[in-house]
Structure 1
Amino acid sequence: MSGDRPIIVVGCPRSGTTMLQLMLHAHPRIAIPPETRFVLDAYQARRAFGDLRNPANRWTLARWIVDRQQTRFADLGVDPEQAVRAIVAGAPTLGSALAEVFRLYAARFGRPRWGDKRPAYLQNLDMILRLFPDAQIVNIVRDGRDCVASLKEMSWHRDDLYTTVAAWARAVDDARRAARRLGPGQWYQLRYEDLVADPATELSRLCDFLGETYDPAMSEPGRVARVAVPAHKTWHERTHGPVTTQRVQSWQQRLSPAEVALCETALGGRLRACGYELSGASRVGGGELLRYGWSAAPHRLAPAKRGLTRAAARLRPEPLARRVPHARSPEA
């Protein structure tokens, strides 16, 4: 039943994932929290918690989630002791334990359905789907030149231009592979530019995929930004205002001619495949392409690494998946 399935929002950083999170959070049945830092970390550290059939080990996991500042649990506004009790009393799998936290977040707003958003999930869908096998994945794509321009301006962004350009290429490639693997019942993709130009139409189509009914409140995400975006994330200040096309193609003013040339030389085929026209900028020289190639090399190796991880998982199966509980009220 689609109404019970987690909703996972992914995309390249600065592609509109936060705006989409808020649009979904504005739906009367859905709650999507601010970004956390405990899902992927918990998966990586899963063996340290021991056998979760032991309630004491579930307690240890719960305290690890709620007590560590790095998890950003405090941004959820969920009572930590209530979360600990829910995890200890819940099903003995990592996916179930993590789901309890998101369920409690949804209960804050009286919503029956929960989800999560983090750009990094796009690179780690194998992990996400081992935890939440029935999740519906929603990927948002934005013009790579606008993503690069926006990332350059972020105070927290430390990568050079070549690595930043390569990150958008990887996001597109990861999305292509995911679409082929998951199919239309579990994977949905939309473009930032289409979403801001006609929110009602694009969100109606998204709701059809999710098995939900479109609500007009979704087209006014700024109304819920105050409660769903932490105040310290000042780089998301635009999410507090109305949906606008103002930032579409803003790369034309925010990137230098040399930066545009690198983006279009390195990303041209992917940009066109995603429906974006090229400006006709001259191609960069071989030295620039070589520097880009070095930055992109780890991305090209990532699929092989993920394949090895999947093979290892098949050889050593673990009880990780969320167990779907019997129907209960959001406040339970």
Structure 2
Amino acid sequence: MFESDRPIFIIGCPRSGTTLLQLMLHSHPRIAVPPETRFVIPAYFHRKVYGDMREPENRRRLAEWIATGKGTKFHELGLDPQEFVEEAVHAPGSLGSVIGTAFAAYARRFGKPRWGDKRPSYFQHVGTLRRMFPDAQFIHLIRDGRDCVASLKEMPWYRGNVYTAVANWAEAIDFGRRHAAELPKDSYFELRYEDLTADPEGALRALCTFLGEEYDPAMRDPREVASIAVPPHKVWHRNTHREVTRSRVGSWANRLEPWEISLCETVLGERLTALGYELSGAPRASREHLSAYRSAAARRRRVRWKRQARDRISRLREPGPVAAMLTRYQRLHCVAV
């Protein structure tokens, strides 16, 4: 039987349970999913700085930035930086190959043949990720938007407010609808957090079928790997060190102010009901709150449009090959030219 070596990406609005899903997948005997790495998308958007990846010295410069650059989380992979750099220098000559080499090395650390990556904001960058990893599979984890907003409000690292949190969830769902319509069925899978926590085995069996993997019972209880795959300083993920629970499902009712519930249900109501979530019947949000939300959403759109415009210009003169040449599919279809 053919064993898949396709990369796996977990996407979704922040605070959707993506870390729990990361650990569940990392508990599979064939799949390794590290903590958030934070070098994939920056490496792509700065690819002109490093030049043509067919040149070994350019691969070295990029690999050294991945391993030691400010802002990357390479150190949390538990890999030897110099060993990774040398492996990347000898990797195939493309941007995706250098980046993929880091993940492949992480998977080997656990004796596993397949790797994944988790970063909620990847929902905005599926097209970019497919440029680098054309055979990638994407798992979109969806959680009740009101619970996501309530949780984001409480995070010490979250720099936004209720309005940006609402906009973030709306964007994740809208991007997801687009991905579901455009991507091949074997490349995109949606899973609700509420279903995952209500019936972990049933949800994970369906997910494994999508991934082309055999279900493993260890995935149901990922606490064993939490100490390895979740950095200790991320105290907001403390629940991942416990058994899977539904204690936070629907907790938005006690964590959001009445006006915040109104805002969520006014703005997100159609999306929530389409995904099977019931509305509370809260009154319509005030004009003031809706205006503040629209301003926040517009700012996010402008930032995204500017980034996309810059990337369209960059694509006119690529510095070198982008697609990885590491998996079976990639080696057959992605040739450095």
TM-score, normalising length from structure 2?
A: 0.92
Change (3 A) 1:252 1:34: same
Which residue of the partner structure matches residue 30 of structure 1?
31
Which residue of the partner structure matches residue 113 of structure 1?
114
Q: CA deviation at 1:313?
A: 6.7
Which residue of the partner structure matches residue 321 of structure 2?
319
Q: CA deviation at 1:204?
A: 0.3
Q: CA deviation at 1:188?
A: 0.3
Q: CA deviation at 1:54?
A: 1.4
* Partner AA of 1:323 in structure 2: M
Residue 70 of structure 1 aligns to a residue whose secondary structure is: coil
Which residue of the partner structure matches residue 196 of structure 2?
195
Change (3 A) 1:287 1:2: farther
CA distance in 1, matches of 2:21, 2:177: 20
CA distance in 2, matches of 1:48, 1:35: 23
Which residue of the partner structure matches residue 71 of structure 1?
72
Residue 138 of structure 1 aligns to a residue whose secondary structure is: strand
- Within-5 A mapping of 1:129-168: 129-168=130-169
* Partner AA of 1:114 in structure 2: W
CA distance in 2, matches of 1:314, 1:73: 27
* Partner AA of 1:34 in structure 2: P
Q: CA deviation at 1:183?
A: 2.9
Residue 321 of structure 1 aligns to a residue whose secondary structure is: coil
Which residue of the partner structure matches residue 85 of structure 2?
84
Which residue of the partner structure matches residue 95 of structure 2?
94
Q: Which deviates the most, 198-207 or 68-77?
A: 68-77
Contact 1:126 1:310 in 2 (8 A): no
CA distance in 2, matches of 1:104, 1:311: 31
Q: Which deviates the most, 281-290 or 9-18?
A: 281-290
Which residue of the partner structure matches residue 46 of structure 2?
45
Contact 2:35 2:77 in 1 (8 A): yes
Change (3 A) 1:181 1:298: farther
Question: C-alpha deviations, 1:136-179, integer Å up to 9, x for none?
Answer: 00000000000000000100111121111111101110111111
CA distance in 1, matches of 2:263, 2:224: 38
Runs ≥4 residues deviating over 3 A: 298-318
Contact 2:11 2:18 in 1 (8 A): yes
The runs of 5 or more residues in structure 1 that have no matched partner are 328-332
What number of residue pairs does the alignment pair up?
Answer: 327
Contact 1:2 1:210 in 2 (8 A): no
Residue 212 of structure 1 aligns to a residue whose secondary structure is: coil
CA RMSD after TM alignment: 1.9
The answer to whether residue 242 in structure 2 is matched with residue 250 in structure 1 is: no
Contact 1:9 1:118 in 2 (8 A): yes
Contact 2:180 2:188 in 1 (8 A): yes
Residue 24 of structure 1 aligns to a residue whose secondary structure is: helix
CA distance in 2, matches of 1:269, 1:107: 44
Change (3 A) 1:158 1:207: same
Change (3 A) 1:118 1:185: same
Contact 2:5 2:327 in 1 (8 A): no
CA distance in 1, matches of 2:327, 2:138: 21
Change (3 A) 1:119 1:325: closer
Change (3 A) 1:314 1:94: closer
Change (3 A) 1:266 1:326: closer
Q: CA deviation at 1:307?
A: 7.0
CA distance in 2, matches of 1:195, 1:306: 34
Residue 320 of structure 1 aligns to a residue whose secondary structure is: coil
- Within-5 A mapping of 1:167-206: 167-206=168-207
Residue 4 of structure 2 aligns to a residue whose secondary structure is: helix
Contact 2:5 2:328 in 1 (8 A): no
* Partner AA of 1:122 in structure 2: F
CA distance in 2, matches of 1:303, 1:81: 35
Contact 2:100 2:326 in 1 (8 A): no
Question: C-alpha deviations, 1:67-116, integer Å up to 9, x for none?
Answer: 12411110000111110111001001010000110001001100000010
Change (3 A) 1:304 1:38: closer
CA distance in 2, matches of 1:141, 1:38: 24
Change (3 A) 1:274 1:299: farther
Q: CA deviation at 1:324?
A: 2.6
Q: CA deviation at 1:298?
A: 3.8
Question: C-alpha deviations, 1:184-242, integer Å up to 9, x for none?
Answer: 11100000000000000000000000000000000101111000001111110000100
* Partner AA of 1:187 in structure 2: Y
Which residue of the partner structure matches residue 330 of structure 1?
none
TM-score, normalising length from structure 1?
A: 0.94
Identity of aligned residues (%): 54
Q: Which deviates the most, 186-195 or 157-166?
A: 157-166
Q: CA deviation at 1:125?
A: 1.3
